[in-house]
Amino acid sequence: EPALVWFRQDLRLADNPALVAAARSGRPVLAAFVLDDESPGVRPAGGASRWWLHHSLEALAAALQERGVRLVLRRGPAEREIRAVAAEIGVREVFWSRRYEPWSIAVERRLEEVLASDGIELRTGNALLAFEPWEIAQKGGGPYKVFTPYWRAWSERGAPPAPLPAPGRLEGFAGKVTGDALADWALLPHKPDWAGGLRETWTPGEASALDAAETFLDGPVLGYAQGRDRPAGPGTSRLSPHLHWGEISPRQLWHAARLRCLEDETRWGRMLPFIRQLAWRDFAYHSLWHFPDLAERPMRPEFERFPWRDDEAGFRAWSRGRTGYPMVDAGMRELWHTGWMHNRLRMITASFLVKDLLIPWQRGEAWFRDTLCDADCANNAMGWQWVAGCGIDTAPFFRIFNPVTQGERHDPEGSYVRQWVPELARLPKKWIHNPSAAPPAVLREAGVTLGRDYPEPIVDHARARERALEAYGEVRG
C-alpha cells in the first residue's frame, strides 16, 4: 500500500521533510501536485508565477523520475483531488508540507478530517520557513508586531533545524494512476508570448536554485550590506522565486552560510544582514498566520476610510513604466521584462502608486501578484502595507519617497535607468533621474523630446506629496 507525497510550495528533493518521511515509511512512493484555482478563497497564481511553476514542475518531475518516482498532476480543489488519488490507488499514508495562506489552511483542515475519516494517516511538516509562525512568540504567547524584537527572538533561537539530505533511493509506486499532462494546464503564455525576458533571466528548478545560492554565498553575500541597495549591481541573491516555490529552503541557506564561516568567524557578521532578510520572510508569514486578512485589508483600521482616487490613466502609466519618473519607470519595466524587481525599486514604485497617485495599495499588490515570479501572499502583502503606511511594522505614511532623489542616491551613475529606459540612455547622469528639469540644450544633445520619446511627469511630485499628506490628515486618528 503506497504512501503519497503531496508537493506544494516545496518543489525540491533536498531538505524535504515530506519526501524523507515517505521514504522512511518503507512504502512505495507516489508524488502528486494539484493545480488548485478553485478552492474557496484561493488566489490563483498570476501569469509570471504560472510560467515559473510550469518549469519548476518539469524539473521536479525529472528529478523524481530519476529516482523512480512518478509525479502525478491533478487539477481542481486540492481536497477533492488528493482524496481521489488516495482512493484510486489505496494510499495508506499522506505526507505534505504546510502552506500558510488562509485558504490553504482551510483546505488542510478539511483534508485532515476527510483523510482521518477514510482511515488514512497523515504527516505534515515545515519545508518553507526557518521557523514555524507560532514558534516565535512574545512572552505572553502573542504575535510580534514589530520586526526588531521579532528578529531578536528569531536570532536567539540559534540554528534552525539542519537540512535533510535528499533521499538517495526511493521505491516508486508502480501501479496505474490517472493524471494530467503538464502541457494541458497551459501555464505558459501562448499568444502573445510575453515570457522571452523571463526565459533570458531565469532557470527555474532545484538545481539552478542551489547553483544560485552557492554563487551568492561564495562571494557577493559578503558585500550585501553595501550592495543591497544598488539595483544596477549583483548586490542581492535573486533567490526570491526559488524560495517562494520552495526549490531551496531558508534552512539550507542558513546552514550553507554558517558553514562558510567555520574558518573565519568574522564572516558571520557580514552575512547577518542577508540572514536578517530571511527572518523578514519568516516575519511576513508570522504576520499572515496571526492576521489572515493581511493581503486584503489594512492592518491599521483608519486606512479603511482613506480617500483613495480612482485614476485609470495613472494606473496604466504606472504599470507600463510611463510615469515620466525614470526610476519608477525603470523598475516597472524591469518587472514586466524579467518577472522580478529589485527591493529598492519595489519600495519606490509602490510609494509612487500609493502616495503620488493615491491609488489603493491593493491594486498594486494585484499587479505585482500577476507579474512577479516570486509573487508571495505574505511577502507581497507585507511589502505593500509597509510602503502604504497601513501595516503593522510600517514606514510612517508621511515618509514619501521622492523618486528623483531616490534615483540619485541608489543609482548615482544612472546605469540602472539606462538599462531599462534606453530612450534616456544618452542623458548625462546629472539629469538622468530628472529629465523634465534638464535644460533644452541637454535634452536636444541627448536626442530626447519629452512628450514624444519619453513622457512628461504625469504628476508634479511636490504637489502630489502635499495632496497625499492632506489625504492622510483626513484619516489620522
Tell whether residue 338 is a contact of ligand FAD (CB under 6 A): no
Residues 208-237 vs ligand FAD: string with x where CB under 6 A?
A: --------------------x-------xx
Q: How many CB atoms lie within 10 A of CB 188?
A: 16
Which of 36/376 has CB closer to ligand FAD? 376
Q: How many CB atoms lie within 10 A of CB 16?
A: 27
Give the total of residues touching ligand FAD (CB under 6 A). 28
The rounded distance, in Å, linking the Cα atoms of 29 and 333 is 44
Q: What is the largest CA-CA distance in the chain?
A: 79
Q: How far, CA to CA in Å, does 100 sit from each of 77, 115, 157, 225?
A: 17, 20, 21, 30
Instruction: Supply the DSSP string of 6-36, one letter for each residue.
Output: EESS---STT-HHHHHHHHTTS-EEEEEEE-
Choosing from 79, 329, 374, 393, the residue that interacts with ligand FAD (CB under 6 A) is 374
The rounded distance, in Å, linking the Cα atoms of 116 and 228 is 48
Q: Which of residues 283-322 bind ligand FAD (CB under 6 A)?
A: 284
Candidate segments 79-87, 257-265, 371-379, 419-427, binder of ligand FAD by CB under 6 A: 371-379
The rounded distance, in Å, linking the Cα atoms of 274 and 221 is 7
Q: In Å, how far from its chain's centre is CA 383?
A: 10
Of 448, 5, 52, 24, residue with least CA distance to 244: 52
- 3-state DSSP call for residue 426? coil
Q: How far is the CB of 351 from ligand FAD (least distance, A)?
A: 9
The rounded distance, in Å, linking the Cα atoms of 369 and 338 is 14
Of 209, 220, 147, residue with least CA distance to 373: 209
Choosing from 16, 240, 287, 434, the residue that interacts with ligand FAD (CB under 6 A) is 240
Candidate segments 70-78, 203-211, 254-262, 278-286, binder of ligand FAD by CB under 6 A: 278-286
Of 245, 243, 196, 197, residue with least CA distance to 216: 243
Tell whether residue 201 is a contact of ligand FAD (CB under 6 A): no
Choosing from 124, 280, 297, 469, the residue that interacts with ligand FAD (CB under 6 A) is 280
> Which residue number is nearest to ligand FAD in terms of Cβ?
383
Tell whether residue 248 is a contact of ligand FAD (CB under 6 A): no
Candidate segments 82-90, 183-191, 200-208, 273-281, binder of ligand FAD by CB under 6 A: 273-281
Tell whether residue 136 is a contact of ligand FAD (CB under 6 A): no
Candidate segments 68-76, 83-91, 254-262, 274-282, binder of ligand FAD by CB under 6 A: 274-282
Structure letter (DSSP) for residue 185: G
The rounded distance, in Å, linking the Cα atoms of 471 and 464 is 10
Tell whether residue 129 is a contact of ligand FAD (CB under 6 A): no
Candidate segments 67-75, 320-328, 380-388, 458-466, binder of ligand FAD by CB under 6 A: 380-388
Which of 281/461 has CB closer to ligand FAD? 281
Cis-peptide, bond into residue 192, ω within 30° of zero: yes
Q: How far is the CB of 416 from ligand FAD (least distance, A)?
A: 14
CB-based contact 3:93 (threshold 8 Å): yes
Q: How far, CA to CA in Å, does 434 sit from each of 400, 415, 425, 431?
A: 17, 14, 13, 5
Of 371, 305, 310, residue with least CA distance to 337: 371
Choosing from 98, 244, 363, 418, the residue that interacts with ligand FAD (CB under 6 A) is 244
Q: How far is the CB of 310 from ligand FAD (least distance, A)?
A: 21
Q: How far is the CB of 213 from ligand FAD (least distance, A)?
A: 10
Candidate segments 25-33, 129-137, 155-163, 381-389, binder of ligand FAD by CB under 6 A: 381-389
The set of cell numbers assigned to 27 is 512504502
- 3-state DSSP call for residue 123? strand
Q: How far is the CB of 380 from ligand FAD (least distance, A)?
A: 3
Helix 47-66 with 206-217: angle, nearest 10 deg? 100
Q: How far is the CB of 98 from ligand FAD (least distance, A)?
A: 17
Binding residues for FAD: 224, 236-240, 274, 374-376
Candidate segments 59-67, 99-107, 118-126, 376-384, binder of ligand FAD by CB under 6 A: 376-384
Tell whether residue 33 is a contact of ligand FAD (CB under 6 A): no
Tell whether residue 380 is a contact of ligand FAD (CB under 6 A): yes
Tell whether residue 97 is a contact of ligand FAD (CB under 6 A): no
CB-based contact 327:342 (threshold 8 Å): no
Tell whether residue 203 is a contact of ligand FAD (CB under 6 A): no
Choosing from 203, 215, 277, 419, the residue that interacts with ligand FAD (CB under 6 A) is 277
Q: Which of residues 339-368 bind ligand FAD (CB under 6 A)?
A: 342-343, 346-347, 350, 368
Helix 266-290 with 147-156: angle, nearest 10 deg? 120
Q: Which residues bind ligand FAD (CB under 6 A)?
A: 228, 236-240, 243-244, 277-278, 280-281, 284, 342-343, 346-347, 350, 368, 372, 374-376, 379-380, 383-384, 387
